[in-house]
A and B are shown apart, each in its own frame.
Chain A
Amino acid sequence: MLLKRGAEAELHVEDFTLHPLGKGKVVVKHRVPKRYRIRELDLSLREARTSLEARLLSDAKRAGVLTPPVYEVDRENMRVVMEYVEGRPLKEVLEEMGREERRRVCREIGRYVARLHRKGLVHGDLTTSNLLLTPGGDLYLVDFGLGEYTSSLEARGVDLHLLRRALQSVHFRIAEEAYREICSAYLREFGKGGREVLARAEEIARRGRYIGREERGALLRDGK
């Protein structure tokens, strides 16, 4: 059954036929070819993201973030097979839920991001579409294809900046309140050095438009 046709992948829900006890469902995420880009680039991007996604899903779990277990990575066909999470995208429920519940969820997000960062991972696409909330209140993080193994301040700052931007463009009514909650949980969980990351995220938000020649020179020198 088609679960979702996203921008880069098609997700299907299938029965987990290989399960030794013969039960459960899996999600098959298939990165489809994009004809607008040349073949070499298309193949290398899809390959890299498929492997990266599988590795990061597992490493994130080790870092203390709830992610669906990965059962199979098929680099040939650009498919990742993982456990099906019974839940709803946070995007659909974040604004409806009560204030307290929202605060709890936001704090969980802040903790998740801090745990990833402390273990040298960044997610690369932190949005409320990539978080699933189960009926039992568990929060799952998915969609790691744009992630990275890095401990750079810039990458961490971008990660948080993207999350804030995603909140602003989709949940503008509650964006700032939610982001504040996320940041304070992030600070607590990350510990020393967390402030620097938040400050970098602020700085990144100020770029993007006309930037002075000096600033631009600095960016190029740092090879960012």
Chain B
Amino acid sequence: MIRYQSHSSATLSGKEIGLLYEGTRVHSRAYTDSTVYEIEMERIFSRGWLYIGHTSEVATPGDFRVRKMGRQPVIMIRGRDDAVRVFMNRCRHRGAAVCEVESGNTKFLRCWYHGWIYDTVGKLVEVTQREAYGPEFNQDAMGLTPATRVEIYRGFVFASLATTGPTLREHLGNAAAMIDLMVEASPIGELAVDAGAHKTVYRGNWKLVGMDGYHPNFVHASVIAAWQRKQDSGMGATHRDDPFDDKAASRTRDLGNGHAMLDLTAQRLAHYEVYTKFLRSVPGGPEYMEAMQKRYGEERAKLLIALAGDPHVGVFPNMQLINNQIRIMNPVAPDETEVIMFPVRLGGVSDAMNAVRIRQHESFYGPAGAGSPDDAEIFERAQRGMMAQVDGWIDLSRGLNREEREPDGSIVGRITDEVPQRGQFKRWREMVSAD
């Protein structure tokens, strides 16, 4: 396989790597260099909070999902005590993965190397031919290793492998309210992440999947052409005036801590009538609108309905909430990234409406969608191009002269401005530079 990564001859320190971002530009080695990648694995993916999964994916005791924290394999499992935990997917004996299937329900996790058995709360319950161990062997201390810290925000399970550092709430900061926008698209405030997943992979660096309001008119020109053909279709209706025009009312936001979003609120509210006309035509649509108003009040309901559960937010470093999906980004190598897209089903909503939302997701996202493949294609072109490292700086200054700071500390720009990219790299620099 042809690779698009480079290796620095001299080992770079974290501080030196941090200097690859200068506020208005970043050096392409940040995307291609294997030393940079190693430092990211250590300082971002082994220290920071990572999104692991949603509690609804492990709805009943014994349900489990295999996930990754950077390179490290973990299991998210609901124990017999109903608590959701995250364990390293590694046998305490000689290190074999104890869980080979991606998901399932079980009473015990058995390692088939030598037959040790763990239960759903991680306890080592059986050591085969136990008599070979003396009294110094402390079986109680040999349970599956838990992720150092696990915290849950509204069903979103996060884990960190650092003993110290900000709490999840501190880390989420302004992004917590954006997660709320997806959760509260459900009139009962519940998401069911049980609709399967689109699993995609592209040959490019993980930082290429960002929040970029500048690209749609170019990368997705073919989709926009298709929408213009049918202005009244679901997606067409919400994109009637170009939300990605520089003059559009939509905004970019750097929420702090590397979290960033494309704030489409103004655009979506402006098309509330067209959108809800479509929504009312879906079985269960009118009941949905009524239930939303009852639960959240008229004003908030209007916002939630208009956004349709799409905060369009990236939660640094590995989660995005876009359209109807929760996304996990898994770096595989400096030049390879998996993007797993989980469409959600809204609790308290008709099956017909959830089905429409899944169809809308498929139309743009996933390996055979109209949008995601062109994103992946462009990320791969960027990765290839960035291998040219003579004069290897890439520019991130767009909109710097016109961005504004909000009272909550977030930075706001026009939709095509590189506010999100700067926000993400600011956090990236802090994390890679910290010893």
Chain A partners chain B = no
Residues of B in contact with A (beta carbons under 8 Å apart): none
